[in-house]
Amino acid sequence: MRLHLIRHPKPSIEPGICYGQLDILAKIETAELACLRAELPPGLPVWSSPLQRCRQLAEQLHPQPIIDARLAEMSFGDWEGRPWDDIPRHELDAWAADVAGYAPPGGESPRALQLRALDFVASLTVPEAVIVTHAGVIRTLLAHWLELDDSEWLSVSPDYLSVTTVERDANGRVLSVTNR
């Protein structure tokens, strides 16, 4: 199976705000869209997070993208919409101490996000697909497939509009990963 994981465009929100599942817009320039299309094989099915910043891009890549809630970004719960600087230090320290397992108040842990993302991938029945999603989804999938330690999860940091292509064999082993 070959998956082309695309991170959404930069969202229209002030820098330094925790936005997680906030449904905010993102703008993509015509030239950026053309470059992205040129990197992808034509005619592939496209799946997308339901959040606008992904869905709008997916709709420009395919006339009928398939929307799946399992591709949404991690829920940061009570942190969403707040400046990172306003989040209590002890909560951020707890998250830093347990990167994969800590859930912000009212939110979900990266490990919970990983489980729903893996459930999505397990449900795919096509040999190749485009998936428009978020950094958290891409990060947790790669952490699983590359067997990264929890402490290494944050080393995976896909850029806006980057394409990470992952090729896996029939047993789920990773054959190659490219990031453009």
Predicted confidence (pLDDT) per residue in 31-81, tens digit: 999 999 999 999 999 999 999 999 999 999 999 999 999 999 999 999 999
> Cα angle at 160 between 164 and 153, to 5 degrees?
60
For residue 171, name the pLDDT band (cuts at 50, 70, 90): confident
Residue type, 114: Q
**Per residue in 113-151, is it b (16+ CB within 10 Å) or e — as a string?**
bbebbbebbeeeeeebbbbbbbbbbbbbbbbbbeebeee
Q: How many residues does the chain have?
A: 180
- Model's pTM, two decimal places? 0.94
Options 3.40.50.1240, 3.40.190.10, 3.40.50.720, 1.50.10.100; CATH for 2-179 is: 3.40.50.1240
| 149 Cβ neighbours under 8 A, 6+ residues apart | none
Q: Give residue limits of the domains in the chain.
A: 2-179
Instruction: Report the distance separating Cα 99 and Cα 52, nearest Å.
Output: 27
